Structure 1
Amino acid sequence: MNLSGDIIIIEDDQEDRDILQELLEEVLEKNNYDNKIVLIPDSTAVLDYLRSTKDSPFLIISDINMPKLDGFKLRQQIFEDQDLNDKCIPYVFLTTSGDNVDFMKKAYGLSIQGYFTKPNDFTEYQSLLSDIVRYWKVAKIANRVGYPY
Structure 2
Amino acid sequence: MARVLYVEDDLDVSEIMKDMLGMFFDEVYVAYDGVEGLDKYKEYNPDLVISDILMPRMDGLELVKEIYSINKDAKIILTTADNELNYQSKAKELGVFGYLNKPIDFSELQKFFDKL
TM range (shorter): 0.7 to 0.9
- SS of the aligned residue for 1:48 comes to helix
Q: Which residue of 2 aligns with 1:104?
A: 88
The Cα of 1:75 is off from its aligned counterpart by 1.0
Distance 1:52 1:22 in 2: 21
**2:16 aligned residue:** 19
**Partners of 1:23 and 1:129 in 2: CA distance:** 11
Among 101, 110, 116, the residue aligned to 1:130: 110
Q: CA deviation at 1:118?
A: 2.1
Q: TM-score with structure 1 length normalisation?
A: 0.69
Equivalent position SS for 2:79:
strand
Which aligned segments of 4 or more residues in structure 1 are displaced greater than 6 angstroms? none
1:95 counterpart = 2:80? yes
Q: Distance in 1 between matches of 2:17 and 2:80?
A: 11
Q: Which residue of 2 aligns with 1:9?
A: 6
Instruction: Name 2:43's counterpart in structure 1.
Output: 52
Relative to its length, the structure with more strand (as a share) is 2
Residue-by-residue CA offset, 1:77-106 (whole Å, 9 max, x unaligned): 222x2xx225x22011122123x2111111
Q: TM-score, normalised by structure 2?
A: 0.85
- Between the aligned residues of both structures, percent identity stands at 27
Q: 1:35 maps to what in 2?
A: 26
Contact 1:11–1:63 (Cα < 8 Å) also in 2: yes
Q: Structure 1: which 5+ residue stretches go unaligned? A: 29-33, 137-149
Which runs of 5 or more residues in structure 2 are unaligned?
A: none
Amino acid across the alignment from 1:72: L
| Counterpart code for 1:40 | A
Partner of residue 74, structure 1: 63
Higher relative contact order (CA 8 A, sep 6+): 1
